[in-house]
A and B are shown apart, each in its own frame.
Chain A
Amino acid sequence: MASSPLAPEISLNPLPQADGSCQYTCPTSRTTILTSVNGPLEVRPKDELPSHATIEVIVKPGIGVAGVRETRLSSLIHSTLQSLILTNHHPRTLIQIVAQIVQAEDHTSLPLLLTPLLNCTILSLLIAGIPMRTVGWSVHLAVVQGAKGIKGVEGQVFKLEGGGDDGMETEESEEVVVRNPNSEILSRAKSSHTLTFSKEGDILLIESLECSQGSGGESADGQGWDISDFLKLAEEGKRICCEEGVEIIREALADRKVF
């Protein structure tokens, strides 16, 4: 029930038979993910680990059959969860996670999918009561040259240096950072960064890449990005995840009775 236009739409336990499930919609990119978590379950002998639970992550695309992209996504999610889930609590069992991409503006864009997938999965794990050492949250930031024509919601577009205001009156050539961009903004971006932090501020995942600017897939100018700029970006990402993200989690769980 957050009033912020940047807050995702979250529905907890929409699936009647899963131990934990969540439907998550990013308000700006309209990416919708549905995840289910079941466990601890009986594990197949070939997947059994003697002192740990086996984590299985399956990502199912919205269109077509699962391919390399889905394997990459599930591997990224798996490694993030390895550092969150306490697998020594239920050895020789299976924790099964399935993430279904329900709706996406661009089904082929990995950066647009990764953040909603991670956040949705983390919420499902919490609902399912899977033992975790802490919670995490993810944010997707895109660096765009020139703020002209970017129609963002309040708080979505900002500058890295100082100024916490919307920065709508920036000069054309100035760089701005857009939070949770949609595919249109992403197509104009210089670089895309998916940052996942734990509640305590530890980095769980960084997936950054340089984007080709403009349409038509021209190759990027190969300039990369400055390390100090990136660190500023990461600091802002950390603040978003640790403060706002955790707040979103607490609010979503507050509606559920505990007894």
Chain B
Amino acid sequence: MPKEPEISLAEKTFVLEALKQNLRIDGRDIHSFRDIQLSFGDDYGFVDVRLGKTRVLARISAEVIKPRQDRPFEGTFTISTEMGPMASPSFEVGRPTNLDHTLSRLLEKSIRRSTALDLESLCIVTAQRVWSLRADLHFLSHDGNLIDTACIATITALAHFRLPVVTVSGEDITIHPVTERVPVPLSLLHWPICVTFSFLGEDEDGEMVCVLDATAQEEALREGDMTITVNKNGEVCQISKSGGVAVEAETLMKCARMAAEKVKGIDKLITTALRDDEVTRNKGNLDWLKEGRSENER
């Protein structure tokens, strides 16, 4: 028996009618994101992202392994997204839903395939030792737009994470604990950020209503959706529109332009949050405000 709760006709009619007039239940207009709140943990690489009632945690961890034989210069990076009933009772452990598959596919395309993370920078000793990075995403509460939230969480956590310094002498490598040598940031080439549009009927002018940052209720009522991943330079990393209602190409172009605008704002928000966290951590030690690179000698 499907566990999705039935939405009453009253809610459905109201929401769809209101959207035609650019009115949403939480008072936003259809092109506004909810307030994005970022908070960091004690460890580097741990971030808690909230978009309204949607809440996702991301944690980056690293270990040293032997690289793949066909890619001896590269480290590895995996993203784990397992949804559970904490986010919503309709998720079951061990039974991935369509959302599970879509989410992991989109993050794969947006972050891994777009080489946001420079895997070669994770190499310690060619063909012998490389860093293996892991992003674990935990979905704590689902009120729509898990995709965009998960992407923001992953990118922010990657940007926040610090890799321990490694010195190589011949065959041996020494991983220095963080108390001995200050750890270094990852080499991120760009920050791809997902923006998902939901299509909910046509307004009075016959144009498709494209809603940004849909809540769970809006997602349940939508006829189609599209996710565009863009970075702050306006470069599109991926576009995904799997089925759903047919949308005019003109509308999709408008959405892409809007996404590029939104991403600039989100990028700035992440940068500010990271900087504020760094200041708090180091209590104003100015050296740390300079971008660190893994090649730096200390």
Whether the pair A103, B43 counts as a contact (CB closer than 8 A) is yes
A41 within 8 A of B: yes
Q: For residue A62, which residues in chain B have a CB less than 8 angstroms away from its CB?
A: 59, 136, 138
Closest beta carbon of chain A to B61's beta carbon, Å: 5
Whether the pair B86, A16 counts as a contact (CB closer than 8 A) is no
Whether the pair B42, A30 counts as a contact (CB closer than 8 A) is yes
Whether the pair A15, B59 counts as a contact (CB closer than 8 A) is no
Known: A62-B59, A63-B59, A103-B41. A17 touches B84 (CB 8 A): no
Q: For residue B15, which residues in chain A have a CB less than 8 angstroms away from its CB?
A: none
Contact with B along A35-76 (1 / 0, CB 8 A): 010100110110000000000101010111110000000000
Closest beta carbon of chain B to A44's beta carbon, Å: 7
A205 within 8 A of B: no
Whether the pair A42, B43 counts as a contact (CB closer than 8 A) is no
Closest beta carbon of chain B to A121's beta carbon, Å: 12
A38, B89: Cα distance in complex, Å: 8
A100 within 8 A of B: yes
Closest beta carbon of chain A to B157's beta carbon, Å: 12
Whether the pair B61, A98 counts as a contact (CB closer than 8 A) is no
Closest beta carbon of chain B to A18's beta carbon, Å: 7
Known: A30-B42, A38-B89, A44-B1. A60 touches B140 (CB 8 A): no
- B61 to chain A: closest residue by CB: A63
Q: For residue B57, which residues in chain A have a CB less than 8 angstroms away from its CB?
A: 100, 102
List which A8-32 residues lie within 8 A (CB) of chain B: 15-18, 30
List which B22-63 residues lie within 8 A (CB) of chain A: 41-43, 46, 53, 55, 57, 59, 61
Whether the pair B1, A17 counts as a contact (CB closer than 8 A) is no
- A62 to chain B: closest residue by CB: B59
Q: For residue B140, which residues in chain A have a CB less than 8 angstroms away from its CB?
A: 15, 34, 36, 100
B85 within 8 A of A: yes
B88 within 8 A of A: yes
Whether the pair B84, A98 counts as a contact (CB closer than 8 A) is yes
A15, B61: Cα distance in complex, Å: 25
B82 within 8 A of A: yes
Known: A42-B1, A63-B61. A96 touches B141 (CB 8 A): no
Which residue of B42, B43, B80, B143 is within 8 Å of A64 (Cβ)? B80
Whether the pair A96, B85 counts as a contact (CB closer than 8 A) is yes
B112 within 8 A of A: no
A108, B12: Cα distance in complex, Å: 47
Q: For residue A100, which residues in chain B have a CB less than 8 angstroms away from its CB?
A: 57, 86, 138, 140
Whether the pair B138, A42 counts as a contact (CB closer than 8 A) is no
Q: For residue B93, which residues in chain A have a CB less than 8 angstroms away from its CB?
A: 58, 66
A175, B55: Cα distance in complex, Å: 45
A132, B61: Cα distance in complex, Å: 39
Known: A18-B86, A103-B41. A60 touches B1 (CB 8 A): no
Q: For residue A98, which residues in chain B have a CB less than 8 angstroms away from its CB?
A: 84-86
Whether the pair B53, A16 counts as a contact (CB closer than 8 A) is yes
Which residue of A56, A65, A103 is within 8 Å of B46 (Cβ)? A103
Whether the pair A36, B86 counts as a contact (CB closer than 8 A) is yes
B298 within 8 A of A: no
Q: For residue A41, which residues in chain B have a CB less than 8 angstroms away from its CB?
A: 89
B3 within 8 A of A: yes
Q: For residue B46, which residues in chain A have a CB less than 8 angstroms away from its CB?
A: 103
A187, B146: Cα distance in complex, Å: 39
Which residue of B42, B43, B61, B141 is within 8 Å of A17 (Cβ)? B141
Whether the pair A60, B84 counts as a contact (CB closer than 8 A) is yes
A60-B84, A65-B80, A66-B93 known; 10 new pairs, CB 8 Å cut-off, are A17-B141, A34-B86, A36-B86, A41-B89, A45-B1, A58-B84, A64-B80, A100-B57, A100-B138, A103-B41
- What are 7 A-B pairs with beta-carbon distances under 8 A? A34-B86, A36-B140, A56-B85, A60-B82, A96-B85, A100-B140, A102-B41
Instruction: In the A-B complex, list the 10 residue pairs whose CB atoms are closest, starting with the nearest.
Output: A98-B86, A36-B86, A16-B53, A63-B61, A96-B85, A15-B141, A98-B85, A38-B89, A98-B84, A58-B93
